[in-house]
Structure formats: structure tokens, C-alpha cells
Amino acid sequence: MDNLFHLKIVAKDGILFEGDVRSLTSYNDKGKFDILALHANFISIIYKSIKIVDSKGIEKEMIIQKALLKNRQNLLEIYLGIDNISA
């Protein structure tokens, strides 16, 4: 489906989530932002939380301290466990 993109959330222990989602909401130094399918490519340090709407429309939220987000060509990767890295 054209309105989905692939999300992978990785922690030091392994993959916490991998699958197709409708949207992601999080926070960076500019404030709250959303990612939808076909979003522009970018990399950012994110804070506070990750909220996703999965392919079935179910909302899930994960509270985080700090993570690295990388979005490229409808593949979104989030790397947790970077709390000791200064932004």
C-alpha cells in the first residue's frame, strides 16, 4: 500500500520493532514532527517518545530518552541507546 513505510527500531539487545506503519510522531530540537510515507530523507536526534500508527491503524507509543532517527526512501530506522552521546 502506498500509504505505508517500513520502520525498524533497534536497541543494543536487538530489534524491538520491525514492520510497515502508517505514521510516526516524535520530537527533535525543532519540536514535534510527523513522518508519513514518501517523507523527505533526513537524519535527526529524537527525544521524549516515539508514537506509531501501525498498518492496521493501531497506535503504539514508546517513551525514550534519546535516539537516532534515519529516514531514507521510505525506510525509517531508529537506533536507541545513544543516551551518552551529546547532541
Task: Identify whether 50 is part of a domain.
Answer: yes
Is 86 within the bounds of a domain? no
Average pLDDT over residues 56-84: 93
In a domain, 23, yes or no: yes
Q: Are 58 and 71 in contact (CB under 8 A)?
A: no
In this structure, the number of other CB atoms found within 10 A of the CB of residue 61 comes to: 10
pTM reported for the whole predicted model: 0.89
- Residue 66 domain-assigned (yes or no): no
Residue 38 inside a domain? The answer is yes
Number of folded domains that form the chain:
1
27 found inside a domain: yes
> In angstroms, rounded to a whole number, what is the distance separating the alpha carbons of residues 37 and 22?
7
Domain presence at residue 35: yes
Measured between its terminal Cα atoms, the distance across the chain in Å is 35
Q: Which amino acid is at 70?
A: K
Report whether 68 contacts 86 (CB < 8 A): no
The CA-based angle 26-28-32, given to 5 degrees, is 50
Which structural domain range is residue 47 located in?
A: 5-61+72-80
Query: What would the pLDDT profile of 3-24 be if each residue is shown by its tens digit?
Result: 999 999 999 999 999 999 999 9
